[in-house]
Structure 1
C-alpha cells in the first residue's frame, strides 16, 4: 500500500468509518434476523420518522403538540382509502368489503396520504399560530379525540372498531407483501422488503430535517422558540414559520403512519390514541429536544422497550402476560420510559444525544471539567 493511500486513509475521520460500518450492518440485517426483530426495527424506523417531525415542531420551534397521533392516523387511513381496490362488489368506489377505496397505484396513494396529512396540519396551523404553551397542547389534544370519534364511526372509510386491511405497497414492479422472493438464497417476505424502504425513508427524512435545522429556517425556528416577540422584532416572519413547521411536522407524521400501516398490515382506531401522542413526546424528551439524532435515539428506546419486554417477559421479574398476576409488558414499558423522562429532565436536559456526543466543557487550555 502506497504512502499516499495510507495518509489519505488516516485523514478520514474515524466517525466516517463508524457510519460506514453501521450502514453495512443495517443493510445486512435482513439476511440474518428473524421476522420479530425485523418488525421491531421497522416499528422503530416509523417511530423515528414521526419523532423527527415532532422534534421540528416542539424541540426546535417550541410548539407543544399532543395531537401527533391524529396526523399518523391521517397518513395510515389516507393510504388505505387511496390504495384500496374500489372495483369490487358495488359501485362508487366501494369494494367488496363495503369500504371505500379509490384503487390508485400504491406509491401514489402513499404520496397523497402524506400530502393529506400536511393539508390537515395546514388547516390547523392558524389555530397553532394564535396559541402557545399548554393552550396549544390542549387544542392539539382535541384533534386526537376528534380523530378517534371519526375512526370509530366513519365505517365506510375506516372500518370502524375492526379497522381495515392495508394494501401492500408496489414500487418498480416489486410488491412488498408476504410472497417470498429469494435473495442470495434467503427468502425475503414483507418485513425484509420493507426494511430497505424504511431505511431509505428514514435517511431521507433525517437528512432533510438536518438541513432545515442547520440552515436559515432552523435559526429562525430556534429564535421563535427562545423568544417569539424578539424574533418578530428582528424581522422573522413568526406566523409563517410556525405554520410551515406545523405542516412539515404533520407530513412527517403522515409518512410514519403510512409506514406503520404497511408494517401492521391492518389499521385499527385504538392504536392512534392519546397514549401514542404521549409516547412521541417521551421520545423527543428522552432523545434530546431539537436534535434529529436525539429523535431517532428516543424513538428506538421507546418503541423497542415494550417489544423486548414482551419477548423476554418469561425471564424478567414482575413482568408477565396480562391476567397472570404480574405487570403487563406494555404497562411496565410505560413505567420505565416515564421514569426515563423524569431522569432526563432532572439530570440530563440534553437527552441521550448529549451522552453520545460526550461534550466537554473546557475552562482553560489543557484543563477540562
Structure 2
C-alpha cells in the first residue's frame, strides 16, 4: 500500500475516533476506554515479543504496578489506603517510570533466559504481584482494592464532578467523553513512539537479536543491552496501560491483574501479528470488546446463557472464539491480521490492467547502448547509436 493511501486512511480513522464520542452511549464509551488502555499495553508487548523475540507472560505484573502506583501517588491521604496526593499528570508519569524501573531490575534474568524459559520466569512476577496486592493493604487496599483518583490537569477535570459545562455540537462532554480523548491522545502517542523506535537503529538491532543472537553479536550489537532496552520499554508501556485501566475502572482490585490478563495481552499481539503496531491495536479491539459486547447483548442472543447457569455464558463463548481465532491465524494467517491486510493491499496494487493490454514499453533514448551477443573467443563491444 502506498504511503499517501496509508496517510489518508489514518486521517480518516483519526477523524472517526474524534467524532465517535459525540454519537456513542455510555456503554460504548466505557468499552472504548478499556480498548485504548489495552492498545497501549499490547503495543509494548509486541515490541518485546514480536520485535525483540523475548516471550513474556508477566505483562500483568507491570500493568498492576502502574495501576497501583497511579492510585497511590494521586490518591489522598486518609482511609484504609493512604496516598501521596500528587498531581494526576505526575502520577501517570510515575506509573510508567515505576514499571520501567521494575523491568530494569528484572533485566539480569531476562538477559540470561529466552523462549519458554523466560516465559515461565515472568509468570512468577504475576504471582508476586498477587501477593503484594493482597498484603500491602496500606497502599493497595488489600483484597477489596482501592478507589482511583480522577484524572485532572490544572484548571480542567476529567470527571463528572467538574462543575464547568463543556459541550461540542450540542453534546455535553461528561467524564467518559473527556477520558476518551485523553486515552486517545495517550494511545496515539504510544503508537507514534513505537513506530519511530521500530524504524530506528535500536529497532533494527532488536530485530537482529530476535533473528539470531550470535549473528547480532558478530555485527557488533550489544545483545544484553538490546534485551534490557526491550524489556524496559515494554514494562513502561505496561505501566501506562495499567494506569489507564485504573482510570477506566475507577476502582482497582487484585483480581483485575491476574495471569489471565497476561494471556489476553499475548492473544492480542498473536491475532494482530507479532511485531506489528497496527496489528496489536486491532488485536486489542477484538480481545477486549468481544466479551463486553457479548455480555451487554446476551439477552438478545439465544445461544448465550446467564452467568452461573451452567450453559454457555458470554465469557465462555469469548474464550472459545479466542481459541478458534488463534488456531485460524496460526494455520492460515501466519502474519496475523496485519499480515493478511498487507497481502491483500499488495495484491490489489499488483492487480492487472482491466483492459487486458500489457504495459507499454519505456521509450528508448539515443544515449542507450545496444547489447551484442558475445561469440566464443571474440571480444565483445557495445555499439552506440548515433544521434
Q: TM-score, normalised by structure 2?
A: 0.86
> What's the offset of the Cα at 1:223?
0.6
Q: Paired residue for 1:205?
A: 190
Instruction: Give the whole-Å Cα distance in 1 for the aligned partners of 2:302 and 2:252.
Output: 33
2:166 pairs with 1:182: yes
Instruction: Give the whole-Å Cα distance in 1 for the aligned partners of 2:7 and 2:324.
Output: 34
Deviations 1:154-205 (A, max 9, x none): 1111111110000001113211112364313322222100111111111110
Q: Which deviates further from its counterpart, 314-323 or 111-120?
A: 314-323
Kindly indicate whether the alpha-carbon contact (under 8 Å) linking 1:282 and 1:338 is maintained by their aligned counterparts in 2: no
Instruction: Give the whole-Å Cα distance in 2 for the aligned partners of 1:326 and 1:143.
Output: 34
Distance 1:14 1:33, change over 3 A: same
Distance 1:141 1:218, change over 3 A: same
> What's the offset of the Cα at 1:365?
11
Unmatched segments (≥5 aa) in structure 2: 354-387
Q: Paired residue for 2:125?
A: 143
1:239-250 counterparts in 2 under 5 A?
Answer: 239-250=224-235
2:63 pairs with 1:79: no
> What's the offset of the Cα at 1:121?
0.6
Q: Paired residue for 2:50?
A: 59
- Equivalent in 73, 77, 88 of residue 106 of structure 1: 88
Unmatched segments (≥5 aa) in structure 1: 1-10, 87-94
**SS at 2:124's partner residue?**
helix
Instruction: Give the whole-Å Cα distance in 2 for the aligned partners of 1:248 and 1:168.
Output: 26
**SS at 2:172's partner residue?**
strand
Distance 1:360 1:19, change over 3 A: closer
> What's the offset of the Cα at 1:341?
1.0
**SS at 1:178's partner residue?**
coil
Q: Which deviates further from its counterpart, 185-194 or 317-326?
A: 317-326
Deviations 1:108-151 (A, max 9, x none): 11111110010011100110000011110000000000100111
Q: Paired residue for 1:232?
A: 217
Instruction: Give the whole-Å Cα distance in 2 for the aligned partners of 1:14 and 1:210.
Output: 18
2:305 pairs with 1:305: no
Instruction: Give the whole-Å Cα distance in 1 for the aligned partners of 2:285 and 2:46.
Output: 15
Instruction: Give the whole-Å Cα distance in 2 for the aligned partners of 1:119 and 1:108.
Output: 16
Over the aligned positions, Cα root-mean-square deviation in angstroms equals 1.9
> What's the offset of the Cα at 1:12?
9.2
Instruction: Give the whole-Å Cα distance in 2 for the aligned partners of 1:67 and 1:23.
Output: 31
Q: Paired residue for 1:267?
A: 252
> What's the offset of the Cα at 1:361?
7.0
Q: Which deviates further from its counterpart, 17-26 or 149-158?
A: 17-26
> What's the offset of the Cα at 1:238?
0.5
Q: Which deviates further from its counterpart, 25-34 or 318-327?
A: 318-327
Q: Paired residue for 2:15?
A: 24
> What's the offset of the Cα at 1:25?
1.4
The structure with the larger Rg is 2
Distance 1:361 1:38, change over 3 A: closer
Kindly indicate whether the alpha-carbon contact (under 8 Å) linking 1:54 and 1:284 is maintained by their aligned counterparts in 2: yes
1:1-369 counterparts in 2 under 5 A?
Answer: 13-86=4-77, 95=78, 97-179=79-161, 181-184=165-168, 185-357=170-342, 358-360=344-346
**SS at 1:13's partner residue?**
helix
Instruction: Give the whole-Å Cα distance in 2 for the aligned partners of 1:242 and 1:159.
Output: 34
Q: How many residues align?
A: 347
> What's the offset of the Cα at 1:18?
2.6
